[in-house]
Amino acid sequence: MKAVVIDLQEYGPGFRADPYPVYAELRARGPVHRVRLPRPAGYEAWLVVGYEEARAALSDPRLSKDIGAALEEAAEARLIGRHLLNTDPPQHTRLRSLISRAFTARRVEALRPRVQEITDDLLDAMLPRGRADLVEAFAYPLPITVICELLGVPDVDRTAFREMSNEVVAPSSEEAMERAFGRLGDYLDGLIEDKRCAGPADDLLSVLIRTTAEDGDRLSSTELRGMAFLLLVAGHETTVNLIGNGVHDLLAHPDQLAAVRADAELIDDAVEEMLRYDGPVETATFRFAAEPMEIAGAFVDKGEAVVVALAAADRDPGRYPDPDRFDIGRESRGHLAFGHGIHFCLGAPLARLEARTAIRTLLRRAPDLALDGPPGEWLPGMLIRGRRTLPVRW
């Protein structure tokens, strides 16, 4: 029997502002549903909303990440190339092994003093003003500065890069997204060539250019472009919205804010709850059934798309009691905000370091921080969850 298709667009703009009631309604009817997505308009896919089913799908080798020429990601495949999020083993295994040689835990830990320095500099500039858009003044410039310094992107290019990145993760139109992918691909090719010509340097992109496995394997120019794209875009877009969403959630829950202020050591637990409660990635990128298969009673034909709703899974009452309550004291670990399995986010340690440093320092230096009016509109689409603006005062 053909599955009933649920058109998510029929839920209206409220679904973008607060998708959790819709996810709860769907989850009460079953963990997997056939849906029509808001973007690409009218495209059908299987949506996984249950925690256990999502965790299993994220690590199921029958669900391929090889996007080929699929959907809105076709521009990515053509203009950017292969990277960790659009390849399967053995290619994925090879790419992850090569990048892991350069993007090490030691390299991330070495960034700690610089992350603190950037945080303090941003707050030095922001705090005398008394009020600000926290996204523009703090949540955005911190991670973009960190990732650009890490990769060796010149300061002068960062404004243009932000425009391109925003159109990729939350496009205003399909045409604008296509143009952004093209501009990003051209920019990254030029950056890589400049670094090849400049000779050895310590930034991550230069190290990736030189990285060689025991068997002599190296990243090709196309693979370098794909990895630079992933690190630059995923390396800041997610953290911007982790900080923005997290600060908003604290300010909207005074008891939780008071607890963190009373004990700064709770910041680690607070960040994990921020990731679970309203994390920056609403759904994982597309997967495709490599063979006919069943997911929790839903029969998925070969080639059909499967979308794992990370945000829905992390509000599953079967995994987290009273899941709609923001509670930094709960055991939040095990959430799926960074994914699961072989595609678990490589940058999770850096995102955690930045968010913990940023929010802890902000609360210490602005003890009367408060919301200063309603937050801005939510970013479009179902990939990145975050607000365009967050007005605050102190």
What pLDDT score does 165 carry?
Answer: 82
CATH code (residue 141): 1.10.630.10
Q: How many whole angstroms separate alpha carbon 83 and alpha carbon 134?
A: 32
Please state, as a whole number, how many other Cβ atoms lie within 10 Å of the Cβ of residue 25. 12
Distance of CA 377 to the CA centre of its chain: 18
Q: Which residue has the tokens 């309603």?
A: 374
State residue 178's pLDDT score: 84
pLDDT for 81 equals: 78
Question: How many domains are contained in the chain?
Answer: 1
How far is residue 294 from each of residues 66, 252, 304, 305, measured CA to CA in Å? 20, 41, 12, 13
Beta pairing partners, 35: 6, 45
Check residue 210 and give its pLDDT.
Answer: 87
Residue 179's closest CA among 268, 282, 75, 267?
A: 75
The pLDDT assigned to 69 comes to 41
Which residue, among 51, 12, 42, has the nearest Cα to 311 in the 3D structure? Answer: 51
What pLDDT, on a 0 to 100 scale, did the predictor assign at position 72?
Answer: 45
**What is the model's pLDDT at position 77?**
63
One-letter amino acid for residue 156 of the chain: V
Radius of gyration of the chain (CA): 21
Range of the domain at 329: 5-393
pTM of the model: 0.93
Q: What is the mean pLDDT of each run of 10 residues along the chain (394 residues)?
A: 86 93 97 91 92 98 76 60 87 90 88 97 98 97 92 81 80 82 88 86 88 79 87 86 98 97 95 98 94 95 96 98 97 95 94 97 97 94 94 98
